[in-house]
Amino acid sequence: MNRTAGRNVDDYAIPHGSVGWHRGGAYLAAMLCTAGIVLFASEAAAQCSARDVLQNRLMFKQTPSVNLPPVPVGSAVAVPVWKTITVGTFADSFALRNALDAAGCGIGNSAGEILARPAFTVSAAKTDVALVAVSVAELGFQTETASLADIYARARQLGFGLAAAEVAPQLRLQYLDQPIGEFLIIGMEPIKTWTGDPVILTVANGGAGLILIGQDGSADADISVVCRFLFVRADEAASAKAAHLLDEAAASVHR
C-alpha cells in the first residue's frame, strides 16, 4: 500500500486529502504540492513553516486562474535547462553544511542527518550541472498521485537522469531568490537515515526563509502529480557518475 502523500521521516505533514483535488486552478495545484511534500512545523531548527504558508494562502479570497492540462514531455532533450549550478566547491560535507548555516538557510532534521551520512559525498572537482524541471503530470501521469518508483522509471524512459545528492544543498546555496511557496524535489537516489529510512531532499521556501528539507524516499511514497522534480539529462548523469567513480578510485589510492 502506498504511503500518504505528505508522510515524511520526521516532519509534520498535512494529509494529501485535506486540501482536495481541483484540476481547474494552478493556485490550488501549487497548494496541493506544498501540502503533499513536507510540512515541517515541528522542526525547531527550521526557519520557515510551509503549513503557515498554506493556511495563509487559503485564507486569501483569490480566484484560481484557468489552468490548461499539462502537456506531457516527449523526451528530456525537449525540456529546456531550468538552472545551471556548480558542485564540487567544498572540501567535504561538513564545509557544505557550515556554508548553509552561514547563509542563513534552514536545514530540516532528516536533511541534516542525510548530510552527515557516509553515503552523502561531494564532488572532488568543480563541475557545472544543468538541471531540468518537470512536474509529475508532465511525465505523463494522469492520476492524482504517483509512486516515487513509477516517477523515476518514467523519467528514465524519457531520458532524464537522477542528480547527485550534493545538488540539493548546492542548489539551496545558489538559489537565494526562490519564490515563496515553491518546493522543488531533487530527483536523486534516496539516502538512508541511521534508522534505515530512505530520504530524498527538497529545496523549499515556505514563507519565512530558505530551507533544505527531507521527505520520504521510499519506492511507494505517494506524490501529487502537480509536484515538480529537478533532474539532469541521462547523458550528463552518466558522465557525472563516471567522474564520481574516478574520484573514489583516486581517493582509495591515496589512503
Per-residue pLDDT of the chain (255 residues), as tens digits, is: 445 444 454 443 322 322 233 333 444 444 556 555 544 333 333 444 444 444 444 344 444 444 566 788 889 999 999 999 999 999 999 999 999 999 999 999 999 999 999 999 999 999 999 999 999 999 999 999 999 999 999 999 999 999 999 999 999 999 999 999 999 999 999 999 999 999 999 999 988 899 999 999 999 999 999 999 999 998 765 545 545 445 555 555 445
Integer angstrom CA distances of residue 16 from 46, 66, 77, 250: 22, 22, 32, 46
Rounding to the nearest 10 degrees, give the CA dihedral for residues 231, 187, 204, 82. 0
The model's pTM is 0.74
